[in-house]
Each structure stands twice: as structure tokens, then as C-alpha cells.
A and B are shown apart, each in its own frame.
Chain A
Amino acid sequence: MSLLELKNISKIYGDLHALDNVSLNIEKGEWIAIMGPSGSGKSTMMNIIGCLDRPSTGEVIFDGKDISKESRRRLTELHRDKIGLVFQQFHLINYLNAVENVMVAQYYHSMPDEKEALAALERVGLKDRAKHLPSQLSGGEQQRVCIARALINSPELILADEPTGNLDEANENIVLGIFRQLHKEGTSLIVVTHDPEVGEEAQRIVRLDHGKITSDRKNEGFKG
């Protein structure tokens, strides 16, 4: 069943087509890697999928409904309820400790619950770092807090923009391990990456160039 469908999406800045008539269908439970050179429109696409931005033209069908014309406010609610975000630059709140950063996502979603937040941190192997501030955590640990925050509200879809871009190999493997686990549990994953190794972990690999999809193939080597 389709979770989300982009139909003839374009995002135009002035005369620059950051996305140029892109169509993409994402199935529930699918793990997709989006790859492409810098400036090819990956983040722009993530923003639109993540309901943080609206396309200039085209439709975004989410759970069978076109949301491309919805108000900002409604988009925020939708994204909050269905989507977990993982950022390349982590984006943790620097004066809140790890568990509090996770609880912020609960706070804006439903109800903060420290026990649940701790459980989420435990899932990413950070239970003993719960009271540390971001400045007291390594890059890999911060990224894992960010993942714990993304999955705390059990989203249907996790969007990760270069989640391993700033990590060494050991931490990259930890993060990929978590993604595999989430995929097994049925969460849809869209991962933007430059790294072919990370791309090869996905079920399906989509390539973007100059705002257009240049290839969209099943990954034969997928081990899921």
C-alpha cells in the first residue's frame, strides 16, 4: 500500500528548478535511499516529504489525501504525527540533556514521559548518557539522541538527511543497525546520503540530478 506519493512535483526558486517535475511513490514499510550530487535537490525533496515545505507545483498524496495545498499549520500537525526527522547536524537543544531533548518531541506531539524517553535512549544504546548535555556527548552519541527523538512518537516514516555524514565507521554501523531494526518493525525509512555504502543498505535507491530523478532501482543486494 502506498504511504506517500509525489506527483509531478516542482520546487522553483527564481529561475532555478531545485526539483523539476519529480514523481515518486513510497510504499508503507519501504526503506529508500536518496542519492545524488550536492545541489541536486535532495534536501528540498526531504522538506516536501517531511511537510516542512510546500512544492511550487504538483501534488503530495499522504495516506490518500493531497496535502500540497494544506495550511502551514495543518502540515506541521501532519508531520508531527506521522514523521520523525533525523538531521545531518543533529540539532539538539544545547541546554537540555539527552533525555530532555527526546522529551521535547513528546511535548509537542502528545505527553512528555521520561520513562518512555529513557526507553528510546536505551534502544539507541545511550541509557547511561541520559543526563548528559549535548556538549558532553560525542557526535555519534548526539546523532543517536537525535534518532531516539525521531522514533519516540512511533512515526510511520523516518526521514534522515545525511544521518551518517558526520560519523565515523563504528558510529555509522550503530546507526545503520538501528535503521535495520526499525525497518524490521515496519517503519518506513527515507535516507538521504552521499555514501554508497549507506545507500546499499536500502531496499530501493533513487538518484537525483539537477532536480530530476535519473534512476530508481530495487537494490538487489538488500539483506533485509
Chain B
Amino acid sequence: MNKKKRMFIRMITASLVRRRSRMIVALLAIMVGATILSGLGMIYYDVPRQMSSQFRSYGANVIIMPSGDGFIQEQALQTALGKFPDAELEGYTPYRYENTSIHNMPVTLAGINFDSIMKTSPYWHISGELPEQDGQTLVGAKVADKLSIKTGDSISAVNSFEVTDSTDTSRIPDYEIYTDPKTGEKHCDHALDLKVTGILDTGGSEEEYVYVSLGDTAYLSLADRGYDIVEISAAATQDKLSEYIDNINSSVRSVSAKLVKRVTASESSVLTKLQSLVFIVTAVVLILTMICVATTMTAVIAERRREIGLRKALGANNGSIVGQFLSEGLVLGGIGGILGALLGYAFAEIVSVNVFSSSIMFQPLLIPVTIASSVIVTGAACLIPIRSAVEVDPALVLKGE
């Protein structure tokens, strides 16, 4: 390297390092821009992959309902489940609904299997804990809101009915039965005491139920019966699923199986919307970065008019003035780009973990693309103020303007 180049680098470095308080503002602007660019870029490219891998864990893709008025009996369910290869069956959750009242308000109780619920409804967001045993409950957010129920509360679900001669009272504690003094009729307030372990947020109709174990449902309703609906989560392609479903529908008469299309159908539209959103945000951020960098560079150059005049008085031609300021800008762009690319990766990772609950796939190509874009954007943003720098009149410096 010759001495001239070395001096050039020495000047650029000195300008960047010894004027760092000035440069840091410009660097920050570039870095934020590059961070957003690389972060959103990673997300943009990773969204389709995330979505399709989420497809599996999105939960139930088959539901089984009774074909007539009855319920789904355990035996019919097992036969139906037998149509899925073991390896493909990820989990299933039977639902049994019962009407009851809590705090004297009518509420629908859903008896489910807490062990498998996260397999079929992985998108459930629970504040608190999932119940682990009988006597515990998960309350839908809407119900919790309406009845002012909080995690940790003890509540009672009450099943009130008239006791007649035909009522089987063997499963009712004596103290729950009383006689109405006016009419002489016998009544029963059969209660199920529950401890609230968590509140359920889904943004959907799931929030309107109070979830308890299947055993508790049976206890409260004083009846053993089948299920109202069963959700099944299976890792299989659409075609395979249709095949299993046909198989079930033809061989198990008492039930009717259906494909759940909810996630699949919306998948592609969510995808395009998300991608165009990411695209717009990225474009806006790039423009903002450019404005910010151009403003900063304008200020920096305005501040350095004397220096420019002096350099010209020492024999600098326009080319070398442009060269110097542009190089400073490009170095800043490069550093900002590198830092931003890495920060962007971290940013994308955080977003991915929080939104998709899985790690982002690193896109190596985005690193050079981000660095190149931030160098180009910074260079372009510097051009206008540099043009004004070239017009500085050295005679003014000598005069002591």
C-alpha cells in the first residue's frame, strides 16, 4: 500500500474515531435501518417455512361428531382412531359439554382430557397453569371476565334439579337435597368444587367455556355418557386424511368424521398479507433511514465547510473531496450494515420465538444483502450534501469566513 492510500485511510479513520460523538448518530440511524431490514428479511423468508411446519402443530385437523342424536361412545371412538396409523396420530381430545351454573350464572362446562389438549389446541394461551387433576379448572377468559374469576379462586359449579322418585340419589350427598317449604317439592343443588389454575385466552369461542376433567363432568351431571365431539390431531397430508376419514365414515356408522379446514384455508392469505406487510415496513424503514442519514450527513458537512475550504486551499480537487466524504459515508454504511445484519438476526430470532415458538432459520444470503443495501443507501444519502460540499469556495476560508 502506498503512503498516499495509507494517509487517506488514516484521515478517514481519524474522522470517524475522533469525531465519534457526531458519527454515532449517523451510525445509529444506519444500524436501526439495517437491523429492521435484515430482521424483517429473515422473517419474510422464514414465514412460509414456519407456517408449514406450524401446520402440524396447529392442532386438530380432524373432528369426529355423533352421526345422529346420540353421543360418541368410547368403543366407537377407539375403532375410529384405529383407522389412523399409530405414528401419525399425535393426539385426540374428547369434549363433553354440560350446562351448569357458577355464581348463579348459567355456564357451559366442557369436560376434556387435559393431557392431550395441547396436542389438539396448541394455540391455547393460558395465563396460569393447565389443570393436572380432578377438582381443578381452566376458565375461559370471557367467563372469567363476566364472573370476575381469577387464577387461584375457588369456585363451585352447581347442577340444580328437582328430585323425583325416579331420581337416582345414590351418588348425591344427603346434605345437597332439601325440601322447598312452600311447595313441598324436593330439590338438589349438586355442587362441584373447583380450584381455578388458569385463564384461557384464544380470541375465539373457546373463551366462553369452563374446562374441567371428564371425570368431574360425569360427577356433576350424575350421568355416564359418551362425548359430544372429539378433536384429533394427525400428522398426515390432506389426501391421507381424507382417506382415513372416508374409512371411518364408512365403517363406524355411529360417528361422522370431518376434516377441519380452518388453518389450511387461511394459511395462504395470512402468508401473503404478512409478507406484503413486511415488505411495506421494510421499504418505509429504508426511506426513513435514507432521510435520517442524509440529514445527518448534511449537518456533518455543513459543520465541516471550513475543513473543505481548507482542503481545497491545500490543493484538493473536487474528486478527492467527494472521495473522502463518500468513503466516510460508505465505511459508516458498512459498519452499520454489519452490526445491523447481526442485530437483525437476533431481532428475527426473538420475534420468531415469540410468535412461532421456534427458532428462525438463518438466511446467510441476507447478511451480504443487508450490508450492501446499507452501504448503497448511505452512499446515496450522502450524495446530495456532498454536492454542496464541493461548491465551498476556498477563498472564503482564507478570508476567515
Could you name 27 residue pairs across A and B whose Cβ atoms are closer than 8 Å? A43-B399, A43-B400, A47-B399, A53-B395, A76-B312, A76-B315, A76-B317, A87-B397, A88-B400, A91-B313, A93-B310, A95-B18, A100-B10, A100-B11, A100-B14, A107-B4, A109-B315, A111-B2, A111-B3, A111-B4, A112-B3, A112-B4, A113-B3, A133-B18, A149-B314, A161-B398, A161-B400
Residues from chain B with a CB closer than 8 A to the CB of A89 are 400
Contact residue among B3, B11, B397 (Cβ-Cβ distance under 8 Å from A91): B397
Contact residue among B307, B317, B395 (Cβ-Cβ distance under 8 Å from A52): B395
Residues from chain A with a CB closer than 8 A to the CB of B7 are 103-104, 106-107, 112
CB distance from A125 to the nearest CB of B (A): 22
Asked if B394 and A52 sit within 8 Å, CB to CB, the answer is yes
Q: Using an 8 Å CB-CB cutoff, how does the interface string of A49-73 with B read, 1 for contact, 0 for none? A: 0101100000000000000000001
Task: List the interface of chain A (C-beta within 8 A of B).
Answer: 43, 46-47, 50, 52-53, 73, 76-77, 79-81, 85, 87-89, 91, 93-97, 100, 103-109, 111-113, 133, 149, 161
Q: Using an 8 Å CB-CB cutoff, how does the interface string of B312-353 with A read, 1 for contact, 0 for none? A: 111111001000000000000000000000000000000000
Given contact pairs A88-B400, A91-B397, A108-B320, A80 touches B315 in the complex (Cβ within 8 A): yes
Chain B minimum-CB-distance residue to A79: B315
Contacts beyond the supplied A80-B314, A104-B7: 15 A-B pairs with Cβ under 8 Å: A43-B399, A52-B395, A76-B394, A77-B315, A85-B314, A88-B400, A95-B14, A95-B19, A107-B7, A107-B8, A108-B320, A109-B314, A112-B3, A112-B4, A161-B400
Interface: B108 (CB within 8 A): no
Q: Using an 8 Å CB-CB cutoff, how does the interface string of B1-22 with A read, 1 for contact, 0 for none? A: 0111011101100110011000
Query: Sorted from nearest, which 7 A-B pairs have the closest CB atoms?
Result: A80-B315, A108-B315, A112-B7, A95-B18, A53-B395, A52-B395, A47-B395
CB distance from A119 to the nearest CB of B (A): 16
Given contact pairs A47-B399, A88-B400, A95-B19, A52 touches B314 in the complex (Cβ within 8 A): no
Interface: B306 (CB within 8 A): yes
Given contact pairs A47-B395, A100-B14, A161-B398, A91 touches B315 in the complex (Cβ within 8 A): no
Q: Using an 8 Å CB-CB cutoff, how does the interface string of B360-401 with A read, 1 for contact, 0 for none? A: 000000000000000000000000000000000011011110
Asked if A108 and B314 sit within 8 Å, CB to CB, the answer is yes
CB distance from A79 to the nearest CB of B (A): 7
CB distance from A165 to the nearest CB of B (A): 10
Asked if A104 and B314 sit within 8 Å, CB to CB, the answer is yes
Chain B minimum-CB-distance residue to A73: B317
Q: In the complex, A88 Cα to B14 Cα: how many Å?
A: 25
CB distance from A34 to the nearest CB of B (A): 14
Interface: B311 (CB within 8 A): yes
Q: In the complex, A77 Cα to B316 Cα: how many Å?
A: 9
How many inter-chain residue pairs (CB < 8 Å) link A and B? 85
Contact residue among B3, B309, B311, B399 (Cβ-Cβ distance under 8 Å from A104): B311
Asked if B400 and A87 sit within 8 Å, CB to CB, the answer is yes
Chain B minimum-CB-distance residue to A95: B18
Residues from chain A with a CB closer than 8 A to the CB of B307 are 93-94
Asked if A47 and B11 sit within 8 Å, CB to CB, the answer is no
Given contact pairs A43-B399, A112-B3, A113-B3, A105 touches B314 in the complex (Cβ within 8 A): yes
Contact residue among A97, A108, A113, A161 (Cβ-Cβ distance under 8 Å from B316): A108
Chain A minimum-CB-distance residue to B16: A95
Given contact pairs A43-B398, A112-B7, A91 touches B14 in the complex (Cβ within 8 A): no
Residues from chain A with a CB closer than 8 A to the CB of B15 are 95
Residues from chain A with a CB closer than 8 A to the CB of B306 are 91
Q: In the complex, A52 Cα to B320 Cα: how many Å?
A: 18
Q: In the complex, A107 Cα to B2 Cα: how many Å?
A: 12
Chain A minimum-CB-distance residue to B20: A95
Asked if B11 and A104 sit within 8 Å, CB to CB, the answer is yes
CB distance from A71 to the nearest CB of B (A): 11
Contact residue among B18, B311, B395, B397 (Cβ-Cβ distance under 8 Å from A108): B311
Q: In the complex, A79 Cα to B317 Cα: how many Å?
A: 12
CB distance from A58 to the nearest CB of B (A): 17
Q: With a 10 A CB-CB cut-off, give which of B4, B7, B306, B312 has the most chain A CB atoms.
A: B7
Asked if A46 and B4 sit within 8 Å, CB to CB, the answer is no
Residues from chain A with a CB closer than 8 A to the CB of B309 are 91
Q: With a 10 A CB-CB cut-off, give which of B10, B18, B19, B310 has the most chain A CB atoms.
A: B310
Contact residue among A50, A80, A94, A96 (Cβ-Cβ distance under 8 Å from B11): A96
CB distance from B320 to the nearest CB of A (A): 7
Q: In the complex, A107 Cα to B320 Cα: how many Å?
A: 11
Q: In the complex, A87 Cα to B399 Cα: how many Å?
A: 8
Q: In the complex, A79 Cα to B397 Cα: how many Å?
A: 15
Q: In the complex, A220 Cα to B14 Cα: how many Å?
A: 49
Chain A minimum-CB-distance residue to B315: A80
